[in-house]
Amino acid sequence: MAADLNIFITEETIEGGDAEGDDAPLADVTLAVKDNISTAGIRTTCGSEMLADYVPPYSATVVDRLTEAGATVVGKTNMDQFGMGTTTETSAFGPTRNPVDTDRVPGGSSGGSAAAVAAGEADIALGSDTGGSVRCPAAFCGVVGIKPTYGLVSRYGLVAYANSLEQIGPIAGTVEEAAAALDVMAGPDPNDGTTRDLSEVEGADPDASYAAAADGDVEGMTVGVPTELFEGADERVVETVEDALADLEAQGAETTEISLPSVEHAVQAYYVIAMAEASSNLARFDGVRYGHRSESDGNWNESFAETRDEGFGAEVKRRILLGTYALSAGYHDKYYEKAQDARAWVRRDFEDAFDDVDVIASPTMPVLPFELGESLDDPLRMYLADANTTPVNLANLPAVSVPAGEADGLPVGLQLVGPKFDEETIVRAASAVEDE
Amino acid sequence: MSDTAASDDGDGPAVDAEEVRHVAELARVRLDDDEVDEFAAQFGDILEYFEALDEVPETEREEELVNVMRPDEIEEGLSQEAALRNADETEDGFFVGPKVS
């Protein structure tokens, strides 16, 4: 079964630590790890030929924390090459299939991780979310995915794609299980200067227990429903999400229509910023210190260019080139600076909205899972599918995708976004959705 | 999509093969001719879509940035052997790169 779905790139085990009692909240839990998260001694390919034989000398902080808490790593999961994609079809190791419907994609870029949970191959899986890459596959595979607030979870050991946007997040079958993993993963890391100590963050609760927040109690909670994130979405998706919101109301939550005018520009801003950061981050892949190296006998520049031609797939080249273009002389102000303006605008829009509501709800993905091959030749179409998830990364906010139900037998995800470092509220709201 | 981003400012989104080759050279990525043509066609669409950013109002950016410092103390790092282990070619404890010119 698993082989047909192409969930794992590498199946090797890291045994969980022998912690006991309160120190072992994840004893007997199996963990699948996206293949852009480093595992000492186990190859970490990023779904790319470039790193097909790369074996990291250290593990990511999140992997150490989860295994110390008792979790056993069972394998490294398939992904869009370097995290660039919305379908897990850009992997150099072939596409992953959606366990719910094997003619369809599992979403991306953490498609292998979501499929591992949906297929019962792991209890918890780690993904990375730069523009929606945890929430999208969670939605398409009918499981739960949490994208934490920027700075809550260490990125040490995550192979960088777009540093200012990405966070590692847990995927699981239930909100409580995902939240329990987040409890273990979260917290400051001396190896990542962008992690925050919650005791120093105004309004944050350093003693928060995310798993305990999965109590389903939404009595009196206000849920903002932004019209912009429903416009243009597939009708079947909208109906399923509206039913889930009606269920929340029946449980005592109050929904109210809100407007986030800035989100209309989020996808453009996201791709400009992500591609710009990618063009810089991926400059490290020159084949000299690690990674694929071409047989070229040319000079440094020729050898470098040939190595990168052979090692990178089409989507990766596309983003490096567009990022280089957007940062180049004459275009920097037109694209990159404007994208930063849009980012600030999105952030302010959300802040204003959270003056009035506790969480913001929308479809996670505006579409049902794509059929395999459907979007590959049309990158712009694939980018547009990220309309509802990218604003969250631009604003550095926490969000969860929880199954809202099915349409035509396919899973539909409901996205709940919260204020910065208020993971407890989105977990609470999401747990009420899955109770129905 | 195409109607949201029409541009007539001269340096609009049309991208020719020459431009793709130039950017590929800056990015140190060799492309074959098929890829150049494919990217030139796709970049036109994608950059035209990005033009919608022109509608974004100038926004005051309040970055919440703080300096993160740690004591300047010697810590354990990778051994030389571990650092070299993934390299294709090494010599006397060094990485061997391509020739410089």
Q: What is the pLDDT of residues A158-173, one digit of tens each?
A: 999 999 999 999 999 9
Q: Which positions in chain B touch A49 (Cβ < 8 Å)? A: none
Candidates A48, A109, A110, A303; catalytic one: A109
pLDDT of B3 over the 80 cut: no
CB contact under 8 A, A345 and B97: no
Nearest-CA distance A121 → chain B (Å):
30
Q: Residue window 334-353, chain A: list those with CB within 8 Å of chain B.
A: 334-335, 338-342, 344-345, 348
Q: What is the mean pLDDT of chain A?
A: 96
Q: Check CB contact under 8 Å for A380 and B87.
A: no
CA distance A164 to A61: 18
Alpha helices in A251-364 (DSSP H): 266-281, 300-311, 314-327, 338-353
- B56 to A312: CB separation less than 8 angstroms, yes or no: no
Among the ranges given (A283-297, A417-431, B63-77), the one the predictor scored with the smallest mean pLDDT: B63-77
Kindly provide the ipTM of the predicted complex, given to two decimals. 0.89
Which candidate from B29, B46, B86 shows the least CB-CB separation from A320?
A: B29
Stretch A134-139: mean pLDDT: 98
Is the pLDDT confidence value at A150 over 70?
yes
Angle between the N-to-C axes of helices B33-50 and A266-281, in degrees from 0 to 180, rounded to the nearest 10: 140
Lowest mean pLDDT across A24-33, A78-87, A197-206, A403-412: A197-206
Nearest to B84 by CA among B71, B93, B76, B73: B93
Min Cα–Cα distance to chain B from A387, Å: 13
Phi-psi region of A285 (alpha: psi -120 to 50; beta: other; left: phi over 0): beta
Q: Is A259 a catalytic residue?
A: no
Q: Inform me whether the pLDDT recorded for A114 exceeds 90.
A: yes
What pLDDT does residue A3 have? Answer: 52
* Tens of pLDDT, residues A336-364: 999 999 999 999 999 999 999 999 999 99
Is A133 tagged catalytic?
Answer: yes
| Residue B95 to residue A383, Cβ atoms within 8 A | no
- Angle, helix A423-434 to helix A175-185, in steps of 10 degrees: 160
Q: Which residues 6+ apart lie within 8 Å of B27 measured at CB? A: A279, A308, A320, A321, A324
Q: How much is the pLDDT for A397? A: 98
pLDDT score, position B72? 93
Is residue B9 pLDDT above 70, yes or no?
no
Question: Which of A57, A330, A341 is facing B59, going by the closest CB pair?
Answer: A341
Report the distance separating Cα A148 and Cα A155, nearest Å. 12
User: Is the Cβ–Cβ distance between A108 and A89 less than 8 Å?
Assistant: yes
Within 10 Å of residue A227's Cβ, how many Cβ atoms? 12
What does the mean pLDDT of chain B come to? 86
B98: chain A residues, CB-CB within 8 Å: 288, 296, 298-300, 302-304
Say if residue B10's pLDDT is above 50: no
If DSSP codes are grouped into helix, strand and coil, which group holds residue A5? Answer: helix
- State the helix-helix crossing angle for A314-327 and B17-26, rounded to 10 degrees: 90
**Among B27, B52, B85, beta carbon nearest to A57:** B85
pLDDT the model gives residue A245: 98
Q: Is A34 a catalytic residue?
A: yes
Q: What is the pLDDT of residue A211?
A: 98
pLDDT for A222: 98
Percent of chain A with pLDDT over 90: 91
Query: 184-243 in A: which are within 8 Å (CB) of B?
Result: 190, 193-194
User: What pLDDT, on the 0 to 100 scale, is given for residue A319?
Assistant: 97
Chain-chain contact of A288 with B27 (C-beta, under 8 angstroms) = no
The structure's pTM equals 0.95
Q: Is the pLDDT of residue A288 over 80?
A: yes
Which pLDDT score is estimated for A432? 98
Instruction: Specify the 3-state DSSP secondary structure of B81.
Output: helix
How confident is the model at residue B2, as a pLDDT? 38
In this prediction, residue B65 carries a pLDDT of 81
CB contact under 8 A, B29 and A305: yes
Give the best residue of B68, B88, B96, B100 to mutate against chain A (max A CB count within 10 A): B88
Q: Dump pLDDT digits (tens) for B43-91.
A: 999 999 999 999 999 888 877 788 888 899 999 999 999 999 999 999 9
Q: How many other CB atoms are found less than 10 A from the CB of residue B36?
A: 17
